[in-house]
Chains A and B, each alone.
Chain A
């Protein structure tokens, strides 16, 4: 049986008269890479903030990792990881200090932290920059480290908000290898991106337009339904159709 790790039923979020999320309904399956796409202002960030337990819906039922969004927000926060392009690591802490800090926040023991730190530095080949301040480390390495600390506590779900924005094309691909690896280990990945080739790597993709879910399916089926050859065209068809109307 397919197990759902996120369930969203009739989620509505209003800011005054503005409806940012208009009756969203979807499920995310355990272990899948779930792409969450949409034009700027379509309501993606609003929905992600709710799923992460940072804001309440106006109405609707939301369950994340088996916890209720209204009553168990702290449990949700303990069971998810989050990484955004903008805020990820502390510039004035070293590579090692950042790892220790995040691991500590998530309640790992000293022993676990030491073991994780060694493992991460080795995996990401960061040993020689271990004691460098984050601000001196190239962006590509920062992004990979930021992802690794976001999953340092082995969360059930990790939310990635435009994780590959601005990095070079090789680093971007290496980053996706980290995502595949995490998914293989059973972490559910919820990811937003403006790169449409990355949408092809998702198991299923949601496209939001004007606060609503305009499409949700596997990339293969979406391309077939809209009779186009790639996800960029699917996106342009959906987002443009609405902006003209």
Chain B
């Protein structure tokens, strides 16, 4: 990749005996919306903190906009916007005071870069005299994003911006990110919610300090190794148990109202599976072939990793 916005090469970082990041490498081109998808403890925050020049890697090299995270940390801090996982604005300053504080620190003003934040800021502007500590979760998140953007950074890092946020606010937040992409800022965002992967240009699936896969979401889905069936029946919990003993099932997972059953690519097991369930005493059996979700792919990759070990 020529002139990537973010470049990470063989980065490792441990805390005592815990390997938070284990030999991670990837690149993000300018203007991409890049997602880090993985559970808590996967190493997402450690990576963000290394790239934001807050901690040093044990091994490896990383750069942001061509600047080295160790040598050029002062320069990186000027062109970077960082929204940490924990809300870290000043609770006893008002919305407007927080924003102008961050603008001043970076030697700019709200007016100068208003265009960049106006779509987001307009939604909280009616409350601009309210203290940040008194805002609802969704509004805090919008203010934090405005503060991370006010100096017009080349790159922003958003560490789990939607964790603990309800379904409605999550949808709204992603709509904001899609719009923000138009201003050509490189956006790196992490999330434990698998369903948010589809909203990124590319994603890295990360678990236990290792990247299991980096690709476009649709390519990850296309690379799924099995045929996948959504199975329903009148008695859902008996269904899961019986599916686990179905000899042709490669994996069985509950997905809300249906169970997802993976079978190998070559054979169409739909009739076989149907008969198997009828024989096991199920009624109203409904089976349809479906496209896997990122969550199906993530679990398949986790299973592969366990077998590899």
Contact = CB atoms under 8 A, between A and B. Distances in A.
Interface of A: 38-42, 136, 138-140, 162, 165-171, 173, 176, 180, 194, 196-201, 219, 230-232, 235-236, 239-240, 243
A197 B166 contact: no
Contact of B39 (A167, A180, A235): A167
Q: Which of A136, A166, A232, A243 is packed against the most chain B CB atoms within 10 Å?
A: A166
Interface stretch (B95-103, B110-118, B124-132, B253-261): B253-261
Contacts of B42: 168
21 contacts: A39-B166, A41-B136, A41-B138, A162-B164, A165-B163, A167-B192, A168-B39, A168-B42, A168-B207, A169-B302, A173-B253, A173-B254, A176-B254, A180-B237, A194-B167, A196-B167, A198-B256, A232-B167, A236-B167, A236-B168, A236-B171
Contact of A167 (B40, B167, B169): B40
A240 B167 CA distance: 10
B84 to A, nearest CB: 15
Contacts, number: 85
A208 B129 CA distance: 29
B298 interface: yes
A182 to B, nearest CB: 14
Interface in B1-46: 17-18, 38-42
Interface residues of B, number: 31
B194 A169 contact: yes
Q: Which of B137, B168, B192, B298 is packed against the most chain A CB atoms within 10 Å?
A: B168
Contacts of B207: 168
Contacts of A167: 39-40, 192
Interface in B242-283: 253-257
B256 A230 contact: yes
B58 interface: no
B299 A170 contact: yes
